[in-house]
Amino acid sequence: MTQKQFAKVIGWSPSTVVLYEVGEIPTKSNNRLLKVMIKDSNVMKEFIAESKADSDLEEL
């Protein structure tokens, strides 16, 4: 999954994803979301399924 696809799936801007990848500290709400996705992989799968249903998201 590309940064752009990931950002679209979770509703962040691509620049936010880039910032976090280079070490910036996430906001409190974004950090909560990341922790939930790390703890339960089904959450990310649900985000992907919803994104595919809602848009013309490129193949993941």
Gap between the Cα atoms of 34 and 26, Å rounded? 9
**Per-residue confidence (pLDDT) for residue 59, from 0 to 100:** 57
Q: How many domains does the chain have?
A: 1
Domain enclosing residue 29, as ranges: 3-59
Name which residue leads in pLDDT, 53 or 60.
Answer: 53
Judge whether residue 49 has pLDDT over 60.
yes
Predicted model pTM: 0.76
Gap between the Cα atoms of 20 and 29, Å rounded? 13
Can you give the length of the chain in residues?
A: 60
Please answer whether residues 44 and 37 qualify as being in contact, where contact means their C-beta atoms are separated by less than 8 angstroms.
yes
Judge whether residue 56 has pLDDT over 70.
no
**Per-residue confidence (pLDDT) for residue 25, from 0 to 100:** 94
pLDDT band at 51 (very low <50, low <70, confident <90, very high): confident
Task: Give backbone dihedrals phi and psi of 12, rounded to 5 degrees, phi first.
Answer: -105, 165
**Per-residue confidence (pLDDT) for residue 54, from 0 to 100:** 78
